[in-house]
Structure 1
Amino acid sequence: MIHFNQSFIICSIYDANDSINIDILTGCYQKSYLESTYAKAYQTLVFIDLDGFKLINDIYGHNKGDEVLRDFAQTVKSMLRDRDAIIRFGGDEFVLLLEGSPCRGVQQRIEVIRCNIEAYFLAKQLHVSFSYGIVEVGGNIVSAINQADAAMYKQKHLRKQKHLAKQ
């Protein structure tokens, strides 16, 4: 562009994902991803809460807890498709966003992931697992998170009852 006999080059610099941040500890998307337009494109949401995590922090300290969170996130991420997303919701809670998957198929995939997670950490002599809730997004992320969170707590309660019954 020429303006007052001077030449200028005009360019625009922007970050297309300016509202999407990555969690430094885990490499997952941060919770703000759930507010993005990208999140609304997914069909299935899985809310995950780690089982046994508090005990690891209490016994081994927060550095070990951080290591567990990193290992968990990277292991789960390696078992997801490239187009799926993992979000660190907070603390030891994660949200998976999955494309085009009916809930029944997702449950089978999540069970396989849980078995692999348990085996991975057992090899490190740690008892880590997770409880989860699965819902269809249906266009409303906030509602889906609330429903999946409630389903996860039901599962967590049932898993604790089964564990206590075995003792």
Structure 2
Amino acid sequence: MGQQDSHVMKTLTQFILGLVAFAVIIFVIAQIMTGGFYSGDKPAASMNDDAAIAERIAPVAKVMEAGAAPVAAAAPTEQSGKDVYNSACFACHGTGAAGAPKLGDKAAWSARIAQGLDVLSGHAINGFQGKKGFMPAKGGNPALSDDAVSAAVKYMVDESK
């Protein structure tokens, strides 16, 4: 029986060493693929890029002297429904987070679509607490216009019929 125990221990040791070697190989591959091993070169789109930092910390407003003429703001460009979905809605409707129906899930969308676009747009614009989840107003992005949110709702409905 001692020889059999020795064989089991040897096999178990080999298995554990194999798992450790496999884990090390996966770790090294992940580091190489994600740039985790520091090579000394900064990528152009790095989070530490000075231009990117300046853009992230730029002020949201400017103080003007009394009597100074305001600078005309550029007209906001309206995004397509697909663009709004990709930038604001995908986080929940692409993953099903917070009970959100996934884009293209006909069963999950059918009862909602039956309520009509006006009701769905109203829920998306103003927020809604339903039985299956929560919809924050404007998908959590108050900068979106009502028209942009409605366009995103229409896009999701069209993709889910």
TM-score (norm 1): 0.23
TM-score with structure 2 length normalisation?
0.24
Q: Pick 1 or 2: higher relative contact order, CA cutoff 8 A, min separation 6.
A: 1
Which structure has greater helix proportion?
A: 2
